[in-house]
Amino acid sequence: MTAVPATAIAAEETDAPRRPVPPRPVTGRGPGRRSRLRYALVVLAFLLPSAIPMLLFVLGPMVAAAGISFTDWNLLAPAKWIGLDNYASLLTDPRTGDVFLHTLYYIVGYLPLVYVGGLALALALNSALKGRTLLRGVYFLPVVTSWIVVALVWRWLLNPSNGVVNTVLGFFGIAGPGWWTDPNWAMPSIILASAWKDLGFVMVILLAGLQTINPDMYDAAKVDGAGWWRRLFSVTLPLLSPSTFFVLIISLINGFQVFDQVYAMTGGGPAGASQVVVQQIYDLTFRYGRAGEASALSWMLFIVILAVTVVQIRGQRRWVNYG
């Protein structure tokens, strides 16, 4: 599932002062040179198992990707240094704008669906409901399913000719759209499938947030004569803002990286109508052998994600209530 990432970073910032780890080495064996060396070896022994793969398979490649982005390379022949040409050609290629726009379309369609849906479910599950655990379990089920399965199942449900959705619509005399075979409906199909999968994830996060709200707040609001909607907007949502913030950060990071479901549902089609950034990176690398350009595009994506995340973390003080 999930890059539970940036929150970790956001969480770290708000968390650190509250629960500091006392830097207490449990050596207690005097400052002799031999024991200092021994201690250093202990630290290395605990750190290297994670540090080696981090350096070799994350940080190293990250830097290498920047290098590759300045070259003309097809993965086979020796790379040729071409400076900023890849970035220049990407910025002038209208398809670059298109893939970012399609990705944005995905995010703008997906985010309100999962947030409003997840909030409604979380509110319902937070009330005195019979069979809450079972209901929560069912709503969460798609989260543990792989994107590929989700994409395939929805491709089948939304099959234009004999998929169940259009069959049911047909009963009511509605001619269903062509879904993933229609350029106008390809992205809505992907959004629908993705929202179905992630609804339970958002629900659980918001539910956890709701459960930290002190019930006295509601009683006080009731005494003041606040109705249900008023309590939702004046009590629940402000107090839920840390969880909302988390959902926003995660959804935007994952949204910009949308790929699996696109690859399996439409492959970016029809006619490139659902081509997203990562699908383009994949195609550039493995279909067209333009690895340098692909690296440049992936760095552009990384910078966009970084900027969006930083802006959100910066802006959180304005609306996130860490009461």
Partner 1 sequence: MAESLTTRMPVASLAPVRRRRRVSVRFVVLHVVMIAGALIMFFPFYWTLVTSLSPGAGLGVTPEVVPTDPSLAAYQQLFTERPFAQVVLNSILLAAITTIVQLFTSATAAYAFSRLAFRGRTAVFGVYLATMMIPLQVLIVPLFAELKAFGLIDTYLGALLPTFASAFGIFLLRQAMNQVPFELDEAATLDGAGHFRIFWTIMLPNIRPAIATLVVFAFMGSWNSFLWPLVVLRSPELQTLPIALAGLQGQYTTQWDIVMAGSVVSIIPMLALYLFAQKYVIQGVANSGIK
Residues in region 110-149 near partner 1 by CB under 8 A: 121, 124-125, 127-130, 135-149
Q: Which is nearer to partner 1, 111 or 305 (CB)?
A: 305
Say what angle helices 94-126 and 241-256 make with each other, to 10 degrees.
Answer: 150
- Segment interacting with partner 1 (CB under 8 A) among 81-89, 90-98, 174-182, 239-247: 239-247
CA distances from 23 to 20, 27, 34, 41 (A): 9, 12, 21, 18
Is 315 a residue that touches partner 1 (CB under 8 A)?
A: no
Q: Least separation, in Å, of the C-beta of 290 and partner 1? A: 10
- Amino acid identity, position 147: W
Q: How many residues bind partner 1 (CB under 8 A)?
A: 119
In our burial notation (b when 16+ CB lie closer than 10 A, e otherwise), range 298-309 reads bbbbeeebeebb
- Segment interacting with partner 1 (CB under 8 A) among 15-23, 104-112, 183-191, 230-238: 15-23
State which of residues 30, 34, 45, 216 lies at the interface with partner 1 (CB under 8 A): 45
Q: Which is nearer to partner 1, 65 or 217 (CB)?
A: 65
- Segment interacting with partner 1 (CB under 8 A) among 90-98, 175-183, 230-238, 251-259: 251-259
Q: Which is nearer to partner 1, 81 or 156 (CB)?
A: 156
Is the Cβ–Cβ distance between 74 and 229 less than 8 Å? no
Q: Least separation, in Å, of the C-beta of 161 and partner 1? A: 8
Is 264 a residue that touches partner 1 (CB under 8 A)?
A: yes
Element (H, E) at 107: helix 94-126
Q: Which two tokens stand for residue 253?
A: 């990071």
The residues in 21-40 that bind partner 1, with binding defined as CB under 8 A, are: 21-26, 28, 40
Is 271 a residue that touches partner 1 (CB under 8 A)?
A: no
Is 248 a residue that touches partner 1 (CB under 8 A)?
A: no
Is 184 a residue that touches partner 1 (CB under 8 A)?
A: no
State which of residues 35, 36, 53, 315 lies at the interface with partner 1 (CB under 8 A): 53
Q: Which is nearer to partner 1, 88 or 129 (CB)?
A: 129
Is the Cβ–Cβ distance between 97 and 269 less than 8 Å? no
Cis peptide before 270 (omega within 30 of 0): yes
Rg (CA), the chain: 25
The residues in 58-97 that bind partner 1, with binding defined as CB under 8 A, are: 58-62, 64-65, 68, 75
Q: Which is nearer to partner 1, 7 or 96 (CB)?
A: 7
Is the Cβ–Cβ distance between 292 and 68 less than 8 Å? yes
CA distances from 321 to 15, 237, 255, 283 (A): 14, 10, 25, 43
Is the Cβ–Cβ distance between 199 and 138 less than 8 Å? no
Is the Cβ–Cβ distance between 195 and 114 less than 8 Å? yes
Is the Cβ–Cβ distance between 100 and 92 less than 8 Å? no
Is 11 a residue that touches partner 1 (CB under 8 A)?
A: yes
